[in-house]
Structure 1
């Protein structure tokens, strides 16, 4: 039996990028063709989720583009890669 390869930072980042691209392509095809994925530039990765800052940055960029809405997608590694079955970005209370 062969041992599974360890997940590297590079492969994890690539998987996240592929997921974001799949979500963007799905939304572009089914919601609005003006939806686009903005690559992150120069931000340092951290373990803490800073949703407030990300939302503020998305709103700033929305204003610069005169866009209708600003969206922040947070990828939870436990979801599947299919954008149509990813569920909501926040778990619902049970």
Structure 2
């Protein structure tokens, strides 16, 4: 399963040594960093929030979208596992 770690100076979940997502707390929002691919895949669902290439801000005054965060994390798990299986295959 995923492990808790510190990476880039912020809390991170890692899977087999690879970063899944990072997160951090600020005065007015929670920063969630699922990598650029995690943002790109869920751009439509994230349109209600302020986001950038690899990050999204969830304002503290609004409900936290736990279901969406879960979907993004599941996507990242599949992505990381896919990267690992591709790297493990031998070229013919």
TM-score, with structure 1 as normaliser: 0.24
More strand by share: 2
More helix by share: 1
